Amino acid sequence: MCKYYISIIVLLLVGHAYSHDDAPAPKLGDTLNRTITIYEEEKIGRNIYKNLQKNNFIVNDFFVNDYMTYLGNKISRNISSERNYLFFITKSNAVNAFAVPGGFMGFNAGLFIITQNEAQLAGVVAHELGHVVLRHSAEMMANSNVNSIPMWIGIFAGLLAGETEASIASIQSGIGLSVQNNINLVRENEIESDNFAVMLMQKSGYDLNEMANFFLLMQGDSNRQDNLNEYFMTHPLYKNRISTIKKRAQKQINPIKNSTDDYFYIRNILESKMLILKDKKYQLSDDLIINHRTALSLFNSGRYLEAKKILTYNLNQDNYNIYSASLMSEILWLEDKKNESKKILREILRVYPNNNAINNQLFLLNVEDSKNIDETISGINELIKYNSYNPEAYKILADAYTKKKELYKSKLALINYYNLKGNTPMAFKVIDAAADSAQLSSYEKEYLQKLKNSILCATNPPLEPIFGNKTCN
């Protein structure tokens, strides 16, 4: 029974699906609007995101984050909405994705392993956007007996972080829907998201045939059999999805290239971070992407000399290959060749001055050797404007202000870091320690106390209910 309930709830969020013309979100009625507002959805989403950070479940890499932001924005710009979306990668080899309330969408690293090109991945992103825009999570909440925002935060976060038993108990005790009603709701939502995704893919120019190809891959990887009774399946059968998408693809004219080179470089990086790259022998290839993959494997094995030979070849072929340059810079820094390391990054920034990953790498190196601190602080603050959910940027900023001996600003950055990592106790510890410091003014201490209250009110326990509590108005 527990596994059954997991499928009911999680599959509402999980998207391996896609398939209609641009249609507004369905009118879900007064029940939904009374149950949860857009503001409350965003509050739930932020708390879930923090819980995932707390459990070290999110990949906080600037290359990875920038690519997912690029892909997500390319697709979401075709939606008539002013909502903000956050696209992030999770540390799991499972082929899965999920959308939680508030526009927060997670994509497992395993999707990069099974997909063959960017268009296939784009289909997954489009499907998850469908869940968010159509407010499927809110619809589930409106149709349940669980009316506590903190409880929903716990349910979603627990399921996604692997704390299934407690989350399942909450669901079983209060969901208030029959098994079959849950199945029907999930299946309807999946079909809606399929249709929405097809519309987004068409407007984004991606080849719909690649969506179908992705389902073929999933079909081959699935243990489910097509002869199962579809009535009892929470998702439409793969063969039906493939057939529907193929029909729509016939009407598509001149779809764009299915992949950018970035897709393959990001796949290399993720496979490296997930430690699933096989140990490579030193071998050059005419393909720079293959060379980068080999160099990452050699780097992970501590074989810096061999990795440098391959990266040197890449950079001779393409002087401004940011992925090869970044790895070469990292190796040179580890070899204590600091000037050479920074020089490579600065050369890249002449061509790509706004690249977040390269800028962040240079900022980190500057802080480590206490050089160009003012320039670094200015740059990181600018970077944070567009990467406000990446905790690592705040950690570098805190270290930079510490080097400059600006205690108050350092504490603020460190509080933001711990808060985004979901480590509220450490954030409070920093605030309390700052309150006892003679180096801070009374105004600064007062502001930190207000910040503490704000963080407290943004988390679920022990406030019940969150909204309407006098201390948090």
- The one-letter code for the residue type at 465 is P
Give the C-alpha separation, 182 to 139, whole Å. 11
Give the C-alpha separation, 286 to 184, whole Å. 52
Listed by start position, the domains of the chain span: 2-249, 277-340, 390-473
In this model, does residue 170 exceed pLDDT 60?
no
In this model, does residue 338 exceed pLDDT 90?
yes
- The one-letter code for the residue type at 302 is G
Q: What is the pLDDT of residues 107-133, one digit of tens each?
A: 999 999 899 999 999 999 999 999 888
* Residue recorded with tokens 């249709």: 195
Distance of CA 278 to the CA centre of its chain: 25
Among candidate residues 117, 60, 62, 88, the one with its CA nearest the CA of residue 352: 62
- The one-letter code for the residue type at 314 is N
pLDDT value for 144: 65
pLDDT value for 404: 94
Spell out the residues 6+ positions from residue 454 whose beta carbon is closer than 8 angstroms to its own: none
Spell out the residues 6+ positions from residue 72 whose beta carbon is closer than 8 angstroms to its own: 85, 87, 105, 125, 129
Q: What is the pLDDT of residues 241-268, one digit of tens each?
A: 777 888 888 787 778 778 899 999 999 9
Q: Is 248 helix (H, G, I), strand (E, B) or coil?
A: helix
- The one-letter code for the residue type at 358 is I
Using the Cα atoms of residue 14, residue 18, residue 20 and residue 22 in order, give the sign of their dihedral: positive
Classify burial at 407, counting beta carbons within 10 Å of its beta carbon; exposed 0-12, middle 13-18, buried 19 or more: middle
Within 301-441, residue ranges assigned H as helices are: 304-317, 322-334, 338-351, 356-368, 373-386, 391-403, 407-420, 424-435
Q: Is 16 helix (H, G, I), strand (E, B) or coil?
A: coil
Q: Which residue has the higher pLDDT, 10 or 69?
A: 69
Spell out the residues 6+ positions from residue 274 whose beta carbon is closer than 8 angstroms to its own: 91, 93, 109
Mean pLDDT of the chain: 80
Contact 373, 403 (CB under 8 A): yes
Q: Which residue has the higher pLDDT, 291 or 54?
A: 291
Among candidate residues 410, 419, 409, the one with its CA nearest the CA of residue 388: 419
Contact 292, 324 (CB under 8 A): yes
Q: What is the pLDDT of residues 410-419, one digit of tens each?
A: 999 999 999 9
Q: Which residue has the higher pLDDT, 321 or 189?
A: 321
Q: What are phi and psi of 5, to 5 degrees?
A: -65, -35
Q: Which range has the top average pLDDT, 191-195, 232-236, 323-327?
A: 323-327
The DSSP 8-state label assigned to residue 347 in this structure reads H
For residue 189, name the pLDDT band (cuts at 50, 70, 90).
confident
Give the C-alpha separation, 222 to 110, whole Å. 14
Q: Which residue has the higher pLDDT, 388 or 294?
A: 294
Share of the chain above pLDDT 90, in %: 46
Q: Is 86 helix (H, G, I), strand (E, B) or coil?
A: strand
Contact 326, 292 (CB under 8 A): no
In this model, does residue 100 exceed pLDDT 70?
yes
Q: Which range has the top average pLDDT, 90-104, 191-205, 298-312?
A: 298-312
For residue 93, name the pLDDT band (cuts at 50, 70, 90).
confident
Name the helix (H) or strand (E) containing 187: helix 179-204
pLDDT value for 236: 56
| DSSP secondary structure of 23-44 | -PPP---HHHHHH--HHHHHHH
pLDDT value for 279: 74
For residue 470, name the pLDDT band (cuts at 50, 70, 90).
very low
